[in-house]
């Protein structure tokens, strides 16, 4: 604990790397699913892939956030409100899905992209700070760094707009003119950049919150807090299993001939 009265913290590098890996894999899978869904949701298959895309991206962002919170190490007892933590995950998915519907509801223009990005970005911000509310440290109170808070919002909306633009690009005639190998390369590069943006928003959001000690008697020792190693292992394992199952589903669908040529991308003018 520091003389300033602020709770001292460190970062666990392995958790930061894991959070980035989850964000990147989730981004790649969501890009794959965007290609499966297309832009015209008039079949059960296309609606299924759109819902799957929203679930994978929303869950991936939440899992990254959860691991990123565990990377925040303090010498104090911490706890999690699990119902609020689960709610934060549902919030992420609940905002991503309508953002995708707005994106694909007409020709891609800046106002439409901005609206869709604002919806998804709002969901990410609400998810993040709801998750932080679930993170409890008795004997402390939260102080807000306004500049970092604004920065996290700007990054969330900007990253969402960039991701949504990529989703649209992968359901356009441009994608149909590329080979599968070229598309994999584009998706891999885009996923790496999206991973940086998503984790960047999270850690900027974390910087927006500082914990001030208000009652030293209530600030317990870390040994009495949550087992971060076990939680990180469980969330990481579940995340990669889900991504693996999603990839398997995509590959099986492609093997049955459900490739880009069979999806309805809408008119070329879109």
Is residue 267's pLDDT more than 70?
no
The pLDDT of residue 255: 57
Q: For 6, which DSSP code?
A: B
Distance CA 202, CA 118 (A): 17
The pLDDT of residue 20: 94
Distance CA 243, CA 60 (A): 9
Which one is predicted more confidently, 148 or 219? Answer: 148
- Return the H-helix or E-strand segment holding 60: helix 44-70
Which one is predicted more confidently, 122 or 256? Answer: 122
pLDDT digits (tens, 9 = 90+) for 32-90: 887 776 655 667 777 788 888 888 888 989 999 888 888 888 877 788 888 998 899 89
pLDDT digits (tens, 9 = 90+) for 96-137: 999 988 888 888 899 999 999 999 999 999 999 998 888 888
Confidence of residue 270 (pLDDT cuts 50, 70, 90): very low
Is residue 171's pLDDT more than 50?
yes
The DSSP annotation for 191-243 comes to HHHHHHHHHHHHHHHHHTEEEEES-TTT---GGGS--HHHHHHHHHHHHHHHH
pLDDT digits (tens, 9 = 90+) for 146-160: 999 999 999 999 999
The pLDDT of residue 110: 92
Mean pLDDT of 10-35: 88
Q: What is the pTM of this model?
A: 0.81
The pLDDT of residue 254: 60
Strand partners, 141: 212
Q: Domain map of the chain by residue range?
A: 9-262
Lowest average pLDDT, out of 45-54, 127-136, 211-220, 260-269, goes to: 260-269
- Residue 56: name the closest of 101, 88, 82, 92 by CA: 92
């Amino acid at each position: 604990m520091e003389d300033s009265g602020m709770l001292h913290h460190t970062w666990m590098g392995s958790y930061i790397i894991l959070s980035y890996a989850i964000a990147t894999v989730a981004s790649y899978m969501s890009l794959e699913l965007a290609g499966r869904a297309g832009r015209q949701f008039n079949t059960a298959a296309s609606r299924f892939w759109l819902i799957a895309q929203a679930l994978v991206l929303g869950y991936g962002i939440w899992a990254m956030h959860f691991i990123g919170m565990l990377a925040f190490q303090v010498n104090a007892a911490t706890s999690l409100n699990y119902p609020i933590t689960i709610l934060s995950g549902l919030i992420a998915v609940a905002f991503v899905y309508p953002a995708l519907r707005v994106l694909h509801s007409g020709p891609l223009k800046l106002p439409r992209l901005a609206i869709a990005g604002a919806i998804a970005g709002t969901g990410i911000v609400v998810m993040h700070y709801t998750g932080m509310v679930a993170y409890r440290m008795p004997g402390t109170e939260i102080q807000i760094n306004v500049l970092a808070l604004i920065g996290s919002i700007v990054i969330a909306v900007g990253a969402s707009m960039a991701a949504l633009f990529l989703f649209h690009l992968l359901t356009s005639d441009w994608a149909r003119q590329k080979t599968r190998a070229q598309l994999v390369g584009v998706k891999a590069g885009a996923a790496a950049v999206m991973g940086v943006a998503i984790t960047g928003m999270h850690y900027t959001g974390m910087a927006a919150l500082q914990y001030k000690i208000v009652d030293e008697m209530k600030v317990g020792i870390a040994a009495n807090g949550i087992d971060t190693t076990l939680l990180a292992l469980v969330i990481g394992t579940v995340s990669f299993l889900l991504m693996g199952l999603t990839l398997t589903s995509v590959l099986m669908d492609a093997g049955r001939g459900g490739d880009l040529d069979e999806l309805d991308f809408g008119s070329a003018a879109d």
